[in-house]
Chains A and B, each alone.
Chain A
Amino acid sequence: MADPVAHTQRIEPTPRRRSWLVVFRRNARTVVGGFVLAIIFASALFANQLAPYPPNQQNLRARLQPPSAEHLLGTDNFGRDVFSRIIHGGRVSLSVGFISVGIALAIGGLMGLLAGFYGGAIDNVISGIVDVLLALPAFLLALAIVAALGPSIVNVMIAVGIANIPAFARIVRSAVLSVREMDYVTAAEAVGSRNGRVILRHVVPNSLGPVIVQASLALAGAILAAAGLSFLGMGAQPPTAEWGSMLNAARPYIRDAQWSVTFPGLAIVITVLALNLVGDGLRDALDPRRAQTEP
Chain B
Amino acid sequence: MFKYIVRRLLLLVPILLGVSIIVFGIMFLTPGDPAVMMLGEAAPQAEVEALRERLGLDQPPHVQYGRWLANVAQLDFGRSIRSSRLVTDEISQRLWPTVELAVLATLLAIAIGVPLGVISATRRDTVLDHGTTVLAFVGLAMPVFWQGLMMIILFSLVLEWLPPSGRLGGWQYYVLPVVTLGTSAIAAITRMTRTTMLETLTQDYVRTARSKGLRRNRVIYRHALSNALIPIVTVIGLQFGGLLSGAVITETIFSWPGIGRLAVDAIRSRDVPVIQGVVMVFAVLYALVNLFTDVLYAYLDPRLRTRYS
Contacts and interface: CB of A to CB of B under 8 A. Distances in A.
A21 interface: no
A131 B13 CA distance: 12
A144 B194 contact: no
B68 to A, nearest CB: 15
Nearest to A144: B279
B143 A268 contact: yes
A262 interface: yes
B4 interface: no
Contacts of B140: 272, 276
A220 B132 CA distance: 21
A128 B21 CA distance: 13
Given A254-B153, A261-B149, A147 B267 contact: yes
A135 B287 contact: yes
Contact of A136 (B145, B199, B283): B283
B175 interface: no
B305 to A, nearest CB: 25
A255 B145 contact: no
A228 B275 CA distance: 18
Contact of B136 (A132, A138, A292, A295): A295
Interface string B261-282: 0011011100000010001001
Interface stretch (B90-98, B107-115, B214-222, B240-248): B240-248
A140 interface: yes
B22 interface: yes
Contact of B194 (A135, A247, A273, A295): A295
B29 A295 contact: no
B29 A149 contact: yes
B19 A137 contact: no
Given A143-B267, A293-B195, A131 B18 contact: yes
A149 B29 CA distance: 6
B5 interface: no
B286 interface: yes
Interface centre among B245, B248, B249 (most CB of A within 10 A): B245
Nearest to A138: B245
B152 interface: yes
Contacts of B75: none
A228 B145 contact: yes
Contacts of A144: 22-23, 26, 275, 279
Given A148-B29, A295-B195, A132 B282 contact: no
B244 A135 contact: no
B16 interface: yes
B15 A232 contact: no
Nearest to A255: B157
B197 to A, nearest CB: 9
A181 B191 CA distance: 33
A69 B266 CA distance: 43
A272 B141 CA distance: 5
B23 to A, nearest CB: 7
Contacts of A101: none
Contacts of B268: 233
Contact of A146 (B146, B244, B267, B286): B267
Nearest to A251: B149
A137 B26 contact: no
Nearest to A275: B141
Contacts of B129: 295
A247 B245 contact: no
Interface in A246-267: 247, 251, 254-255, 258, 261-262, 264-266
B25 A148 contact: yes
A224 interface: yes
Contact of B141 (A143, A147, A220, A262): A220
A135 B15 contact: yes
Given A140-B279, A146-B267, A261-B153, A228 B19 contact: no
A232 B283 contact: no
Interface string B115-139: 0000010000000010011001110
A234 interface: yes
A269 interface: yes
B39 interface: no
A8 B157 CA distance: 76
A139 B140 CA distance: 15
A244 interface: yes
A238 interface: no
B249 A232 contact: yes
Contacts of A140: 244-245, 248, 279, 282
A147 B145 contact: no
Contacts of B15: 131-132, 135
A52 B141 CA distance: 28
24 contacts: A132-B18, A132-B21, A136-B286, A137-B286, A139-B246, A141-B22, A147-B26, A148-B29, A227-B143, A228-B143, A228-B249, A231-B143, A234-B267, A244-B143, A247-B149, A251-B149, A254-B157, A261-B146, A261-B153, A262-B150, A268-B141, A269-B138, A295-B136, A295-B195
Given A268-B143, A272-B143, 16 more contacts: A129-B18, A135-B287, A141-B22, A144-B22, A146-B267, A150-B30, A227-B145, A228-B249, A232-B267, A233-B268, A254-B153, A255-B157, A261-B146, A269-B141, A277-B137, A293-B195
8 closest residue pairs by CB, A with B = A265-B146, A132-B18, A139-B245, A137-B241, A148-B29, A273-B141, A272-B141, A295-B133
